[in-house]
Structure formats: structure tokens, C-alpha cells
Structure 1
């Protein structure tokens, strides 16, 4: 594990990252999803993509990289872009899982690998809608501290700045970003994914013209059991 210190737009970050196959000259960057970290991406892919130098990064607020600020997805893309510059990276491909898929898309790589990417707005369940209603009501009544009872387990332990960041990124519609992406995209999905539905993956594939779409039996973390096949498909498709 290594640390890269960067100051971006007045904000200071100590980015935790790890390299695999460090002597290779072509890079592939792996970006984790919300609430995750670089270790899960390394667990899945470190034994594959043998001809590439792997870059595994803990984005700010996750894993071993702290975050003291309120950020949005565009901020994350700027941070990762500067991080790659600091490594003099020849990054020919970026793989992004869930939230990481949105960041990867903004970075406009030559080869984009989306793993159950976030970015398509989906209808919320009635239970979630009720929670949002009461949380907003309490907030409007000046009872902000009581809104924590309506937070999901995923965000219950977040710091206030990361919760504010979560609210910035959770309901973004990235349809126009996917549609504007003109390079090659490899889209992979879990058929039983309840976090980002299979229909969302199919929509992203329809929006990105130069893309391929492959689904697997599995949930939001389907790639843990299918990394070998995913890697082969990408390597065979990279020009």
C-alpha cells in the first residue's frame, strides 16, 4: 500500500492506493463503489489482466483514504484525474463498480468498464418514499438531529460530511453522460442485482453507442465470481 498526497482546489487528500504488476507499461484503474474500498476490487481482479499495471485506489471517504469535505461526483473525478497525473499513468482502461462507474465515465477513458454502474434513476419503493417524507418534514421543523432515525443502515455510521456527499451523489441522473460517452465501453451486470437493476444496465448499454453488454447470474457483487470471464472479454475487446 502507498499514499499519495494531493491538494486539489484547496482541499488536501492523502490517497491510499496499491499497484499490481508494477513493471507493466499499460495501466488499468479500478474504482470501487459507495461504501466499499480498493480491497474488494483487488480481490476480484488482481490475478487477471496480466499485461496491465493495476491501480487500486481508495477514493476519499472510503477504505484507508479519509475525507474531510462535502464532495460531489465531479469532485471525485477531478481528484482521480489528478491522482493519475501524479503517477504519470498511461491509463488505457478504467473499471468502475456502482458509484465508481459514474466517476469512471466522467474520466472519459479509452476503454470504460462498467460493473453494475450507478447513474440511472430508478423508482423508489413506498417504504423509502415514506422515510424521505418524514425526514424532510423533521428537517423543515428544525429537528434535523432526529432525521438520523430514517437513514438506511448503509449511511447510519457516516460522518456528516460523507452523509452530505452521499446525498449529493445518490440521485444523480447520468443518462446524458452515458449518452455523450463515445469511446468503447464494456458493460457487465448481475441479473439479480437489487441495488442497480438489470434494466438500468440495459438502458446504459442503449445509451452508449460503442458498447457491449454481458449479464451474469449474481447480485450487485456478481464480478467477484466472474472476474476471469470479465477480464477475458475486456482483453479480447481492447483495440
Structure 2
């Protein structure tokens, strides 16, 4: 593992990364989802795409990468772009899982591969709507620690900065960004995904003209078992 310090908007980010198959002519950047890190992407894809250079990156605030201020997904993408520029790397393909899919979309690569990507705000269930209404009713009378009682399980063990970021990014809708995408896009999805439902994948597919959509067996982390299928599908397109 290596680290690269990136100065962006007067903040310094120490970004942890790893490069495999160093020196291959084309590069694939792998971006993990919320609450995860580069290791899960390397676990799935480290032995695939052997003719390509791999870059695995811990997004700011995850794994071994630092963060000190509250940012949104646009800034995440800008920081990643600054990191790539600093290393003089231009990936022709970016593979993004969940939240990493949002970041990957904003980076607008030549080939975009989305794995159960975030970016579509799904309708909330009655249970969630009731929880939100109760929270708003009690919020004026409750201490700050009360917020986490109503928060998603994703906040477990999370710093205050990351918790504030989660609140900022969770309802970002990238529908317009998906619709504006013109380059090659491949969408893989877990049929039993409960975190980002299959309907979100279908919506992204409908928004990105000419995209390819592949529902596969599994849940939100389907790619941990389906990595060979993903590799085979992409290589058949001549990449």
C-alpha cells in the first residue's frame, strides 16, 4: 500500500492506494462503496483483467485515507481526479460499487462499469417515512446523540465528519448525470440487492442510452462471487 497527499480547496487528503500489474498500457480504477475500502474491490478483482493495470483507492474517510471536512460527491470526484492527475494516470475504465458508482459516474470515463450503484433515490417505505416523521417531531427536544438512534446502520462506528457527509450525500440524485452519459456503460446488479434495489439498476439503464444491463444472482455484494462473469462479459466486448 502507498499513500499520496492531495491538496484540494486548502485541505490535505492522504489517500491510500495500491497498484497491481504495474506498467500495463491501460488502467482500470476500482472504487469501493460506502463503509468499505479498496480491499473488498481487490478481493474480487485482484486476479482478473491481468492485461490491465489496476488502481485500488481508499476514498477520503475510508480505509486508510484521511478526511477532515464535510464534502459532497462532486468534491469526492474532484479529489479522485486530482489524485489521478498527480500520479499521471488516466484510467480508460472505472469500476464503481454502490457509492463508488456515483463517484465513477461523475468522473465520466471512457468505459463506466457500475456495480449496484447508488445515485437513484428510491421511494421510501412506510416504515422509513414513519421513522422520519417521528424524528422531525422529537428533534427540537432531543440531544445531539439522539440523531444516531434514528440513523441508518451505516453510521455504526462512524466519525462525526463522515456522519455529516452521509447525511449530505444519501439523497443526491444523479438521474441527470446518468441521462447525459454518452460513452460506454455496463451495469451489473445483484438480483436480491436490498441496499440499492434492482429497480434502481433498471432506472439507470433506461437513463443511459446504449447502456448494457446485467442482473446477476446475489445481494449488494454480488460481485464477490460474480467477478469472473463480470470480467468475461467485459472482455467479450474487446476491452
Q: TM-score, normalised by structure 2?
A: 0.96
Report SS of the residue matched to 1:91. coil
Report what 1:232 is aligned to.
232
Note if contact 2:148-2:155 (Cα within 8 Å) is conserved in structure 1: no
Cα distance, 1:11–1:137 mapped onto 2, change above 3 Å: farther
The answer to whether the aligner puts 1:143 opposite 2:137 as a matched pair is no
* Partner-residue secondary structure (3-state), 2:29: strand
Cα contact 1:116–1:196 (8 A) shared by 2? yes
**d(CA) in 1 for partners of 2:162 and 2:2?**
23
Structure 1 residue runs of 4 or more that deviate by more than 4 Å after TM superposition: none
Q: State the Cα distance separating 1:2 from its structure 2 match.
A: 0.3
User: How far apart, in 2, do the equivalents of 1:70 and 1:139 lie?
Assistant: 22
Structure 2 CA distance for partners of 1:102 and 1:238, relative to 1, 3 Å? farther
Partner of 1:214: 214
Asked if structure 2 preserves the Cα contact closer than 8 Å seen for 1:92 and 1:109, the reply is yes
> How far off is 1:212 after superposition?
0.5
- Return 5+ residue gaps in structure 1 as ranges: none
SS at 1:34 equivalent? coil
Q: Secondary structure at the match of 2:155?
A: coil
Is it true that 1:117 corresponds to 2:117 in the alignment? yes
Q: Distance in 2 between matches of 1:53 and 1:235?
A: 15
Residues 158-215 of structure 1 show CA distances to partners (whole Å, capped at 9, x for unaligned) of 1111111001111111111100011000100000000111111011111111211111
Q: Secondary structure at the match of 1:214?
A: strand
Q: Unaligned regions of 5+ residues in structure 2, if any?
A: none
Alignment pair present for 1:89 and 2:89: yes
2:115 equivalent to 1:100:
no
Q: Retained in 1: the 8 A contact 2:95–2:115?
A: yes
Deviation at 1:88, TM superposition (A): 0.8
Residue correspondence of structure 1 range 1-239 to structure 2 within 5 A: 1-141=1-141, 143-238=143-238
